[in-house]
A and B are shown apart, each in its own frame.
Chain A
Amino acid sequence: MSVVQAAHHTLTPLLEMRGISKAFPGVKALDQVDVILYPGTVTALIGENGAGKSTLVKILTGIYQPDGGEILVDGAPVEFGNADAAIRSGITAIHQETVLFDELSVAENIFLGHAPRDRLGLVNWAAMNARAAALLTSIDAPISPYTRLKDLSIAHRHLVAIARALSVEARVVIMDEPTAALSYKEVEDLFRIIERLKKQGKAILFISHKFEEVYEIAEHFVVFRDGRSIGSGLLSQTGQDEIVRMMVGRSVEHVFPKVDVTIGNTVLKVSGYSHPTEFDNISFDLHRGEILGLYGLVGAGRSELCQALFGITRPSAGMVELEGRPIALHSPRDAIAAGIVYVPEERGRHGVVLQMPIFQNISMATLGKTTRAGFLRQAEEFALARRYAERLDLRAAALSVPVGTLSGGNQQKVVVGKWLATRPKVIILDEPTKGIDIGSKAAVHAFMSELASEGLSVIMVSSELPEILGMSDRVLVMREGRMAGTWRRDELDAETLVRAATGNV
């Protein structure tokens, strides 16, 4: 604290949170935390999954009411009874689980709830579209305000979420894991936006599990552990090790515990796989025990390729052979039956049933294994769920609580656990550690390595270069729906992959 104050004796805090507490049934999500934000400054909020970061964001944006503590804006106490009140005080956020509306246009999504009105109080469409276009230009987003959201790629949806956050006159901008599953290029774009906001004197709260980003963009940090603020200060004076120790209370080693595995025979052979609009002429082999990294920019068609391999979309040409036999993939059911499973990237939409208990979510794709003659055996379901929850370091009050009450990272562990529980031949992991903190990330990676050494073949889509470099036996890079090349582990280096992904040879 003193460090920060010393560095900022000239700056007055824009926003102060003092002694904020918030409890949920069975969990003290926040316990007397203090956070101070200064104008023109980025403050990184760091902490493990479930440390209380998103809860703080929801309190700052009026979605939750704190049980105790006070919030000061410009030194004056404020109370946010609802989301609107927070917006009127100049606080805006990009939430971890962004909710946008598929059927609405980009402009409507941006201005939903605060659309410009005309004299009669009706929506002024012309003004709304014009302002949306201006906003999108200001963040270099090549998107038309008239496009329907469902026609946008994930990366572009993300830009819409950012534009939405900036569409209100905000002085405080909060970003809750904005870079999860963005590749370095989109991250660079985002950082340019953040720099501009900084120059405009806005205070920014930035939440991320990726340390490189935190050190690149932020000046201050606050560390949460188990709902308490453990430390804060200047990043320029604090090493990563020290922060990690504050975060988890111990030091974390081996983030990429890749074990060398003898690669076996070909398990999956994909040849000439094409889709009318998303990818073209993709061919590769996947061997027993191999981890194949799938790298590329967001929107390169990696997720679409995986979805086709899982029977969700139909390819227009090409063939898939599993263990030497051609297979037809018309639905996820077919794929699961054949032994191919897919851990989807968008966990909220594709991964979990929020109101269902954790154990039922984990057993959902394996109902056949925990049943006898159509009857569920709950003891086995629990045993299964407990096994994977422990392996993945899932933190929850009980396995019978609804998944919706978990933090984002812990929800991700439920999704990963659900699919690992199916014990497949081939597992496709789409951004498997999205939103997972570094300690648990090591656990997920160790588990992946272990499964590979038992003969499972893994396709891992990741936008995180270190993860790709650390975990893959081979890397396939995709660019704009086409293969840009494959590299063996011993040929890998960051520069080659980035060049291949962007096409800047």
Chain B
Amino acid sequence: MMSRILTYRELLLAAIIIVLIAVFAYRAPGFASPESLANIFNDTAILIILALGQMAVILTRSIDLSVAANLSFTGMAVAMMNAAYPGIPLPVLILCALAIGAALGAINGFMVWKIGIPAIVATLGTLTVYRGMAFVLSGGAWVNQTQMTPIFLDAPRTSVLGLPVLGWTAILVIALIAVTFTRTVFGRTLYAAGGNPTAALYAGINVGRTRFFAFMLSGALAGLCGYLWVSRYAVAYVDIAAGFELDTVAACVIGGISTLGGIGSVGGAVLGALFLGVIKNALPVINISPFWQMAISGLVIIIAVLFNARQERRKGRLILRDAAKQRPSLVNAQAGGAAA
């Protein structure tokens, strides 16, 4: 969000993604075609949305391990509602998904805020609990394509200007979150509460409540993704998106969201998710086995973390071109670069 290093980092990440695409396109012509790229983006849309929710939580020095379980429960719930009452209009179902997700997120937030359970412990617990709830709700049964209404299934796939609505949803969420994080009081308090909780408290910011809302946001986005996921894959069962919470954390880490809180940008998280998306889509194209895909993804995450650590270390050893102004005076600080 703030220092030059981060924007530099984002540029670098974007460059790496472009180079990767170019390399893959060399091996598999057509990989870089507009349709293929739109497809990759669409394929990564859910990860992007979840990563942004995860980012809000990580900014406040917490972590949400229950996003995938939340997605699974909410997806199951709306799928069953759709199957049982086909008459409920889709917007209502989507609102339900957001609300259920937000409620599950609020449970996490409440435990962290009011009971004082560490986030990692609280959400590790609800990870199991929410999956269990999905099982109890469905009795272990699947909701199949045939049981869901056509509109429920088709809405996210409808193509607008060459990109399915699912992809557009991600773009909308990115825009909303970017504005929220950089331009609203809530966004600022996320950074302050994570950057230095004590100083934030002294400044009159309620750190616990900020965390609570971060969890709720993450939950609401997970709920939305519950619907998107079920409709995209046209099936709902207990184990959907198993382990996906780790992908969201990985996207954030690759994107430079500091797990120590208070540092990171929306652009970084999105690029981190896209990076994983490109890898995931490209490896099968160039015939690399799924086992290797996982190993390579893992390796990339480790490299990203190392890169992060190196960046931190290099701070203060950067060599200056030349201080043109002989004294650091209050230059008219431009608004640019500040909140980018």
Say yes or no: B338 contacts A378, CB within 8 Å: yes
List, in ascending order, chain A residues with CB within 8 A of B186's CB: 374
Say yes or no: A67 contacts B319, CB within 8 Å: yes
Q: Give the residue of A28, A333, A354 whose beta carbon is less than 8 angstroms from that of B196.
A: A354
List, in ascending order, chain B residues with CB within 8 A of A350's CB: 198-199, 202
Identity of the chain B residue whose Cβ is nearest the Cβ of A389 in the assembled complex = B330
Say yes or no: A23 contacts B262, CB within 8 Å: no
Q: Give the residue of A226, A367, A402 whose beta carbon is less than 8 angstroms from that of B2.
A: A402
Near A by CB (< 8 A), chain B positions 162-220 give: 182-189, 191-192, 195-196, 198-206
* B87 in the interface (beta carbon within 8 A): no
List, in ascending order, chain A residues with CB within 8 A of B188's CB: 360, 364, 367, 376
* A395 in the interface (beta carbon within 8 A): yes
Stretch at the interface among B48-56, B105-113, B321-329: B321-329
Near B by CB (< 8 A), chain A positions 357-381 give: 357, 359-360, 364-365, 367-368, 371, 374-376, 378-379
List, in ascending order, chain B residues with CB within 8 A of A355's CB: 2-3, 195, 262-263
List, in ascending order, chain B residues with CB within 8 A of A385's CB: 333
| Complex CA distance for A394 and B333, rounded to whole angstroms | 13
* B295 in the interface (beta carbon within 8 A): no
Say yes or no: A353 contacts B199, CB within 8 Å: yes
Can you list, as one digit per residue, whether each of A398-434 has a CB less than 8 Å from chain B (1) or not (0)? 1111100000000000000010000000000000000
* B335 in the interface (beta carbon within 8 A): yes
| Complex CA distance for A352 and B262, rounded to whole angstroms | 12
Say yes or no: A365 contacts B330, CB within 8 Å: no
Near A by CB (< 8 A), chain B positions 1-19 give: 2-4
* A276 in the interface (beta carbon within 8 A): no
* A25 in the interface (beta carbon within 8 A): yes
Say yes or no: B184 contacts A374, CB within 8 Å: yes
List, in ascending order, chain B residues with CB within 8 A of A226's CB: 326-327
| Complex CA distance for A400 and B200, rounded to whole angstroms | 19
Q: Give the residue of B185, B192, B196, B199 whose beta carbon is less than 8 angstroms from that of A376.
A: B185
| Complex CA distance for A398 and B328, rounded to whole angstroms | 8
* B242 in the interface (beta carbon within 8 A): no
Can you list, as one digit per residue, whether each of B60-85 has a CB less than 8 Å from chain A (1) or not (0)? 00000000000000000000000000
List, in ascending order, chain A residues with CB within 8 A of B200's CB: 353, 364
List, in ascending order, chain A residues with CB within 8 A of B199's CB: 349-353, 364
List, in ascending order, chain A residues with CB within 8 A of B317's CB: 64-65
Say yes or no: B191 contacts A397, CB within 8 Å: no
| Complex CA distance for A394 and B329, rounded to whole angstroms | 8
Say yes or no: B183 contacts A395, CB within 8 Å: no
Identity of the chain B residue whose Cβ is nearest the Cβ of A344 in the assembled complex = B202
List, in ascending order, chain A residues with CB within 8 A of B331's CB: 397-398
> Min CB distance, B264 to chain A, in Å?
10
Identity of the chain A residue whose Cβ is nearest the Cβ of B317 in the assembled complex = A65
> Min CB distance, A482 to chain B, in Å?
26
Closest 4 CB pairs of A and B: A23-B320, A399-B333, A353-B195, A400-B338
Say yes or no: A353 contacts B185, CB within 8 Å: no
List, in ascending order, chain B residues with CB within 8 A of A376's CB: 182-185, 187-188
List, in ascending order, chain A residues with CB within 8 A of B263's CB: 355
> Min CB distance, B200 to chain A, in Å?
7
In this complex, the member of A336, A356, A385 whose beta carbon has the largest number of chain B beta carbons within 10 angstroms is A356
List, in ascending order, chain B residues with CB within 8 A of A50's CB: 328
Known contacts A50-B328, A64-B317, A376-B185; decide if A349 and B198 are in contact (CB<8 Å).
yes
Known contacts A367-B185, A374-B186; decide if A332 and B201 are in contact (CB<8 Å).
yes
Known: A27-B320, A353-B200, A376-B184. 14 other contacts (CB 8 A): A226-B327, A344-B202, A350-B202, A355-B3, A357-B2, A359-B333, A364-B205, A374-B185, A379-B335, A385-B333, A394-B330, A395-B327, A395-B329, A397-B331
Q: Give the residue of A67, A331, A354, A400 whose beta carbon is less than 8 angstroms from that of B333.
A: A400
Supply 23 A–B pairs (Cβ within 8 Å), ascending by A. A26-B320, A333-B204, A333-B205, A354-B195, A355-B3, A364-B192, A364-B203, A364-B205, A367-B189, A368-B185, A371-B184, A374-B185, A375-B183, A376-B183, A376-B185, A376-B187, A376-B188, A378-B183, A382-B333, A397-B331, A400-B334, A400-B338, A402-B2
Say yes or no: B202 contacts A332, CB within 8 Å: yes
* B91 in the interface (beta carbon within 8 A): no
Identity of the chain A residue whose Cβ is nearest the Cβ of B194 in the assembled complex = A353
Say yes or no: A25 contacts B330, CB within 8 Å: no
| Complex CA distance for A352 and B196, rounded to whole angstroms | 7
Q: Give the residue of A331, A354, A368, A400 whose beta carbon is less than 8 angstroms from that of B337.
A: A400
Near A by CB (< 8 A), chain B positions 296-316 give: 316
Say yes or no: A395 contacts B191, CB within 8 Å: no
Say yes or no: B328 contacts A375, CB within 8 Å: no
List, in ascending order, chain B residues with CB within 8 A of A378's CB: 183, 335, 338-339
> Min CB distance, A452 to chain B, in Å?
23
List, in ascending order, chain A residues with CB within 8 A of B337's CB: 400
